[in-house]
A and B are shown apart, each in its own frame.
Chain A
């Protein structure tokens, strides 16, 4: 009897050790297990739904969310919150198309650049409020969201544009390969490249480490010589550029421009980033986790019709899965808060 207890405790210890080793810096493993569990449910309930087309559809549905999430990730790691990014994104995308139509010019690459520059300009509003006037980030971005959207609808346009300039439309129709019946658009490549770039920046650059430092403890960061406002300005400008780019990706992928889209999706994107391990109190988060978070959200959203779940239940099911994902993170980080962090690995996350 005694021996049995000891052995089982030993086994439990070993499980803990293994878990500690593989849980990932931001509990990505738990998230991965949740994703696998959902796929498992699908495999049992509707095995015919698990096809390459399904993979293609998830990529297509997640790519804009990921592009939007990258900028938000920086803001959240730095201890802020941003709800203005979808407004910045659709403003940049829609205004770029409007400018192109107005002047009758066409192009493939520069519109993305123009949208990013517009994103930077709009992001500077956030930067101004947050870094200069020290406003609460959530409140500041709530304000800028409404302002940006209002200006877009009132002055840029509220008309649905059903056809894009020819070269952009061609990008929207060009794919690098087909997964089953689902074409994988070429724009997946720049978004993936951006994900790697942001990941590298967060891990390897002084600027990236400063973002974590500010999010961890703003005052300490200031005392070790990090210029907090300067870092914040750069964060919001970069986040603006990423949002502008994402807006253009959205417009080109959907092959029409409507000023009413994207705003309203911010909660999905925030959920993806938070599920991915970024603490809303700051100082933690990774691109890898964010990618998993986006995967989870896209997976749920694109499987309910396949599983035959009635539309009446969709919102509820998505809500429950998001809640489970966030709960896993909250649970894990509260457990960690109880243990001392002095000897925590100095190896970079992200």
Chain B
């Protein structure tokens, strides 16, 4: 009996093993390459490995690398969106001495000390989505986050007819950019739309679509007059849209938020989601690499500089934070221009 079940287990395990091996055989084996003689290596450290957003950034990275012979760009991340994993990843990269790191932090504050060590060892550090970070030559934003929040509010207000209650969802209360957008939107509402009010503090979705969905159901139940939703993480409006759809409120609510067509595009069809706002991660990735290249060439990143990437032709220096620069690269995706954004 014991032997028999052992055999069965072994058979199962073997079957699982074979299946896994078969999968691995079909996967690409594009090895990163630590950089041969004369090759410059740049590493793009993102929040989470895989996922459409950062896959799109990797597309941009590789386009940029193709235009810059002799440069190898690789992308890496922890296997979940935690600060600890990202710190560990960067820790492991420092001894490999890449020429530059382009980092999209999960939590900028928690990365300061590890980025400081990277800079001290001579690595050029450029960040994205981390306004106010200290240990980076430059933080490149697609746009001024506060202005983007205002832009989202303008979009939402146009949809809501300039009045009503809205709720704002953020990926996490520690993601700096999400919370600046939320503030920007609230400030714009206070300034330009006296009849629009926010029902509660920003609500955290823990970067999880299922959580966004459940919190939205709660919001709909608690504030039956709700007219609008703004989402920050790319899965937020997908969860919000699903809840709105189930409640049959597609026609009565406006859903606007940062996402990608592949995540949220299918919900544009019936109005569960109204407008996807955002920026193209491919271009942001390229802007970071170009900035890193300029620094490596001995130039300084300054106000009005042209990074040669659409939307980043004349970057603006933040008047308050010297190493913070932004372009004007926001985009608005609706049902009618969905096809222009294949990511």
What is A's interface to B at a CB cutoff of 8 Å? 49, 51, 53-54, 57, 60-61, 120-122, 124-125, 127-128, 131-132, 149-151, 153-160, 162-163, 180-183, 227, 229-230, 233-234, 237, 250, 254-256, 258-261, 263-264, 301-306, 308, 310-312, 314
Tell whether, in the assembled complex, residue B16 and residue A162 are in contact, meaning their CB atoms are under 8 Å apart. Answer: no
- Given A160-B51, A162-B262, A261-B210: A306 and B9 interface contact (C-beta under 8 Å): no
- Given A57-B218, A311-B201, A311-B202: A156 and B266 interface contact (C-beta under 8 Å): no
**Is B12 interfacial (CB 8 A cutoff)?**
yes
Which of B20-28, B123-131, B156-164, B330-338 interfaces with chain A? B20-28
26 A-B contact pairs sorted by A residue (CB < 8 Å):
A54-B221, A57-B214, A57-B217, A57-B218, A121-B12, A121-B15, A125-B16, A132-B6, A155-B20, A155-B27, A158-B49, A158-B51, A159-B51, A162-B266, A230-B2, A233-B9, A254-B242, A256-B238, A260-B50, A261-B208, A304-B218, A305-B219, A306-B222, A311-B173, A311-B204, A312-B201
List of A residues within 8 angstroms of B266 by Cβ: 162-163
List of A residues within 8 angstroms of B55 by Cβ: 158-159
**Overall SS of chain A's interface:** helix
Tell whether, in the assembled complex, residue A131 and residue B9 are in contact, meaning their CB atoms are under 8 Å apart. Answer: yes
Shortest CB distance A51–B (Å): 7
Tell whether, in the assembled complex, residue A255 and residue B201 are in contact, meaning their CB atoms are under 8 Å apart. Answer: no
Contact partner, A254, options B20, B209, B221, B262, Cβ 8 Å: B209
Within 8 A of A (CB), among B261-293: 262-266
Shortest CB distance A344–B (Å): 31
List of B residues within 8 angstroms of A132 by Cβ: 6, 9
**Is B317 interfacial (CB 8 A cutoff)?**
no
Tell whether, in the assembled complex, residue B221 and residue A53 are in contact, meaning their CB atoms are under 8 Å apart. Answer: yes
List of B residues within 8 angstroms of A258 by Cβ: 209, 235
- Given A156-B23, A182-B217: A227 and B222 interface contact (C-beta under 8 Å): no
Closest CB pairs A-B (n = 9): A158-B50, A124-B12, A305-B218, A155-B23, A121-B16, A311-B204, A310-B201, A306-B222, A124-B13
- Bound-state CA distance A150–B27 (Å) is 14
List of A residues within 8 angstroms of B2 by Cβ: 227, 229-230
List of A residues within 8 angstroms of B340 by Cβ: none
Shortest CB distance B93–A (Å): 19
- Bound-state CA distance A305–B205 (Å) is 12
Shortest CB distance B126–A (Å): 24
Question: Assuming A162-B266, A261-B208, A312-B173, what are 9 further A-B pairs, CB within 8 angstroms?
Answer: A57-B217, A122-B16, A132-B6, A154-B24, A160-B263, A255-B242, A256-B209, A261-B209, A310-B201
- Given A156-B23, A305-B218: A230 and B1 interface contact (C-beta under 8 Å): yes
**Is B294 interfacial (CB 8 A cutoff)?**
no
List of B residues within 8 angstroms of A154 by Cβ: 24, 27
Within 8 A of A (CB), among B208-229: 208-210, 213-215, 217-222
- Bound-state CA distance A57–B55 (Å) is 34
List of A residues within 8 angstroms of B235 by Cβ: 160, 258
- Given A155-B27, A162-B238, A311-B203: A260 and B9 interface contact (C-beta under 8 Å): no
